[in-house]
Amino acid sequence: MPGMFIDVQVDAKVAADAALAKKLVDVCPVNIFAQDGGLRIVEENLDECVLCELCIQAAPGGVRVVKLYDTE
Ligand code: SF4
């Protein structure tokens, strides 16, 4: 079975919005977002993403959860 990888992309204007960034940190159940200065994607937690889309609901249009497949 091919593996699946998740990439989470956040618009710069969402990352720069401290209140919105905090909301993302709060909603993600697996801590993919971290706030230290700006908004940071915690790369090592990306494979924990459960595709709950809470981040997308928290910042409509500002966050994309991209499914990448390993086709090898
Ligand atoms: S879809 Fe859910 S688990 Fe995945 S990054 Fe967004 S909030 Fe976190």
Q: Give per-residue pLDDT as tens, 21-45.
A: 999 999 999 999 999 888 999 999 9
9 CB under 6 A from ligand 1?
Answer: no
Q: At 51, is the pLDDT very low, low, confident or very high (cuts 50, 70, 90)?
A: very high
Compute the distance between CA of residue 8 and CA of residue 41 in angstroms, rounded to an integer. 7
Residue nearest to atom 2 of ligand 1 (CA): 52
Q: What 3-state class would DSSP assign to 28? A: coil
In the chain, what percentage of residues exceed pLDDT 90? 82
Would you say the pTM of this structure is higher than 0.95?
no
Residue nearest to atom 8 of ligand 1 (CA): 28
**70 near 14, Cβ under 8 Å?**
no
Looking at ligand 1, which atom is closest to the CA of residue 51? 1
In the predicted structure, residue 2 carries a pLDDT above the cut 80? no
Residue nearest to atom 6 of ligand 1 (CA): 55
Per DSSP (E only), the strands in 1-72 are 4-10, 33-36, 38-41, 63-69
